[in-house]
Amino acid sequence: MGIDSGKLEIGRDELLARQAKVKDRLRADGLCGLVLFSATSVFYLTGFAFIPTERPLALVLPLDGPSVLFVPRLELEHPRAVGAVVDDVNAYPEYPGEKHPMLHLGDLLKKAGFGAAGRPYAADGAGYGSSWGYDGPKLEEVGVGSPVILAKLVEELRVRKSPAEIRLIRESARWGNLAHALLQEFSVPGALETEIAARASLEATRTMIKTLGSLFDPRGGEGAGAGYRGQIGPHSANPHSVTRNTRLKAGDGLVTGAGATVWGYNSELERTMFVGRPRPEQKTFFDHMLAIQDLSLQAIQPGRPCSEVDKAARAYFDKHKLWDYWRHHVGHALGILGHEAPFFDIGDQTVIEPGMVFSVEPGLYVEGLGGFRHSDTVIVTDKGIEMLTYYPRDLDSLICG
């Protein structure tokens, strides 16, 4: 189970190169800098993973000055402790405080010249937002004028993965594979869903830590994990079910999920399994699902629009009259987030390019019977795809109990 030499991380040079790309875009648009509130974007550019709450946190990235993380006092030491690639850290006392944090941010931006005459700036939103009870003014209300909103600037940079990112996602897939193997081993009649998932996740993560040693850094995640998220028996017909702590019984169809977080990056592995041999009707839908995924995988070619992959799956639905069992598009990009753009959807005309990483997960959902979905993580290459997940997909390999 050895790994390649070198650290499992995004290095300082790559993080600085990402910041340079952002500055190139700002410079081309005649903007003096950028304010980012998105936790994902802050992590992508600096390597700083944090828990976004009611307390505003932002990255200020000027063209002609130091980059600054604007944080609440409780986060002041955190960026330095984890080696965040940023020039300075500026802290305010607390939220809401005697002086609102956004007013403190306004002072910081004015000092950097943001919004002054002839110095327009950009932001990824009109102001900070949070569902954790936050309320506060927009940027235009704190004395720095209205920003140019570039909500997708960093997201667009994340679409094509670098070799370092692909290495992290590949490593994630390796540990997700182990977690899934343990999940299947522990899935026997009478076992409780939550106990199976907890046991598989703990054992996989412990092995991950022992094997990687000092290289283990989930950077905001928890290691390896696998479970069912309520997708057991008839409830697996709900693609986004939630955990119900169901007890497995013979005849249940199961839809799984497994993965691991490696320096903030993730993969996706899902399988349809059965407790004991499936009934003929279950086997029929399993075979259809596998055929649709095969067609979808074959349709992924650089230079084609993402919509073509969804169209390939839809043609199978048409031919076999399966539309009553359709619920969602074929897949989505992933990396730092579990779902990223672009999407294998009939409405997404994004051109597929080498370096993009996708899940491929067409499904069938039959009320009263269950769900049927495999998901695999793939990277687009110059000639097609490489499968990053590799757990068995055939029916005989997916029988439990």
Reported as a single tens digit per residue, the pLDDT across 302-335 is 999 999 999 999 999 999 999 999 999 999 999 9
Place 2 in a pLDDT band, splitting at 50, 70 and 90: very low
Residue 170 CB contacts under 8 Å (≥ 6 apart), including other chains: 267, 388
Whether the predicted pLDDT of 4 surpasses 60: no
**What is the mean pLDDT of the segment spanning 170-188?**
98
Could you give the strand order of the β-sheet that contains 399-400, starting from the edge strand earlier in sequence? 253-255, 272-275, 399-400
Instruction: Output the pLDDT for position 373.
Output: 98
Q: What does the DSSP 8-state code read for residue 237?
A: G
Place 221 in a pLDDT band, splitting at 50, 70 and 90: confident
Residue 123 CB contacts under 8 Å (≥ 6 apart), including other chains: 34, 35, 36, 37, 139, 147, 148, 149, 150
CATH 3.40.350.10 residue ranges for the chain: 12-157
Q: Does domain 12-157 have CATH number 3.40.50.2300?
A: no
Give the span between the Cα atoms of 2 and 250, in whole angstroms.
38
Place 5 in a pLDDT band, splitting at 50, 70 and 90: very low
Scanning the structure block, which residue is given the tokens 């993402």? 306
Q: For 228-231, which contacts have Cβ atoms below 8 Å and span 24 or more sequence positions?
A: 228/193, 228/196, 228/197, 228/254, 228/255, 228/256, 228/257, 229/257, 230/193, 231/255, 231/256, 231/257, 231/371
Reported as a single tens digit per residue, the pLDDT across 120-136 is 999 999 999 999 999 99
Whether the predicted pLDDT of 84 surpasses 50: yes
Q: Does domain 163-400 have CATH number 3.90.230.10?
A: yes
CATH 3.90.230.10 residue ranges for the chain: 163-400
Q: Please report how the helices 193-212 and 163-186 are oriented relative to each other, as an axis angle in degrees rounded to 10.
A: 140
Instruction: Output the pLDDT for position 387.
Output: 98
Give the span between the Cα atoms of 75 and 385, in whole angstroms.
41
Place 388 in a pLDDT band, splitting at 50, 70 and 90: very high
Reported as a single tens digit per residue, the pLDDT across 229-278 is 999 999 999 999 999 889 999 999 999 999 999 999 999 999 999 999 99
Instruction: Output the pLDDT for position 378.
Output: 98
Reported as a single tens digit per residue, the pLDDT across 331-348 is 999 999 999 999 999 999
